[in-house]
Structure 1
Amino acid sequence: MFVTVGNITLDLFISGLEKVPAFGGDEFTADNLTFCDEPLTMVLGGNGAISAYVLARLGALATPCGAIGQDQAGDIVAAWLTAAGVDMEGLRRTDEVATATTTVITDRALNRVAFHHPGASHWYAPEALPMRLVAQADVLLVSSYPLLPRWRPDGFAQILRQARRTGTITALDIGPAIGQAAQLEELRPLLPHVNYLLCNGHELAVCTGAKTLKEGVMALLEAGAQHVVVKRGAQGAVLVDRSGSHLVSPGFAVEARFTVGAGDAFNAGLLYGVDKGWTPARALRFANAVAALVVAGARGALGAPSLLQVESFLARHAQGSDR
């Protein structure tokens, strides 16, 4: 079983507008009203929710441990997760706060502004997680580090430590690098309990202060992480382990239609392969394929591929044997 710990949000995307309107008065005017060529898009958001959703679409048993409100937004999110076959035991619903939401407005020049209501993500605390799920997990993915303030750092350390005691494969995604971003000194007590440290290049630089990818990766490995995986978007990913082994897996050329959730989809694909006992090369290539298929779709994580679809995609992009 896969257990993901992270935020769960309803994401709203407004696009197809000439310019972002200005604030002004409480009446509709030429300055504060704009027409949008594209309809409002609602998709599943949140690192923990997306990874669990993608894993379920691949056919794995996955439960997201996080919280949503007892509201309409929560109903929508819960329905999406249930329809994908996600195990709902780890999901908490509360009437104390609302479901977390992110609203993103993008104009035709691709200028973007985002509004985030943390809601249940900031309410969610370690005592809300059923520890029996951690004990039963084959793989534990901890994500949304800066977005779960009641967990850092001791709550995260506790579940990672317990998971390693029972032989669970552990992964920690330190992104996103927003707000009070994850810092190496804060992470240092956690890293000896982390099999896979996941990040992108920007998150790596912010966390370690290193000027190069190599320096940042080495800092995390020296602090205790067993593997560091750096996600590089269309360029693929890099995996480095404590022995110094350095593996580069190129990405796939696809037309990017919706990039939100790509990193979480990659995490799901990678850990799916790790759980299957695949070689690092095969697991990385599979993860890149899962992320590429999510990016190429128009529905974000809600368009996550099945295992058969990923295998068909890989067969069409054969690049030699990686078994």
Structure 2
Amino acid sequence: MRPIIGITMGDAAGIGPEIIVKSLQQQDVYKRAKPLVIGDVKILKREAAHIGSLVQFNVIEKPSQGLYESGTVDCIDIDLLPQDLAYGKVSAESGHSAFCFIVKAVQLALEKEIDAICTAPLNKEALHKGGHLYPGHTEILADLTNTEDFSMMLSTPKLKVIHLTTHVGLLEAIDKINPERTYKVIKLAYDTFARAGNPEVKIAVCGINPHAGENGLFGNREEEIKLQPGIDQARAEGIDVTGPYPADTLFYRAGRGDFDIVVACYHDQGHAPIKVMGVEDGVNITVGLRNGVIRTSVDHGTAFDIAGKNIADERSLLEALKAAVDLAPVKK
């Protein structure tokens, strides 16, 4: 019953191939998952030789052909890159190939041939040079799955956060929050956990203002107008959601186990506590994609400055793989 996790190789000029090989030479990964790399196998082989890894590579055409056993890396080979691709250099070739890896992963996920997607980092400049004008992974995935309502979830071993808004200014973020968006994000969080076998998930919502407005003392009753109706709608459907709570104590309570996930109202409200918990353990998750497609990712970039030096830390990818396993829909 181990889920098949499709791992996209990301930008081949960065640390993606290195952290993939380092992660998949660890036996524990295979106890919980069937990892399948979607990338360029010659680059993976080059990286294995570079770091002194003894793993072997099994090139397959479809996930059902995988061996999924320790010591062997199963790979769907998308052969687009030159053998001598330079480390740490922006190129149209690496940007285009990174996009193609994602396209293949999404196809397999929509066809239910893999159970979740785990992405190594891509480089936005290279992506654009390769002819794909997206801000990043999330927008690519939303486009390829024809998804409009999605959200970013951040995860560490002790804390999970989902966002009402992300990459907009603070004033615009508050303006964008409304009861409909509040309800939708709560429902996205609930559905994600329920599909993974945890319908009893406990959800808590952050207030917008200090002390969650303290009954109108701070702000203009944003909690009452923008958040509470969405919370009430979700509760009426049987979802265990409470709040809004003051953010300065809610994250502490969630970290000690009172709640499974926190709904943050804006970018820094949710990101700052996660970063404090440790960047190496952070995982970026896209939820709400069509057909229940789950995507997890490392919480760092391509690190061109250290690519090819055998010093990249694979811990974030290992955490992303664990998150993909935990959130993959339960097989029946």
For normalisation by structure 2, the TM-score amounts to 0.28
Give the structure with the larger helix fraction: 2
**Larger RCO, structures 1/2 (Cα 8 Å, 6+ apart):** 2
Give the structure with the larger strand fraction: 1
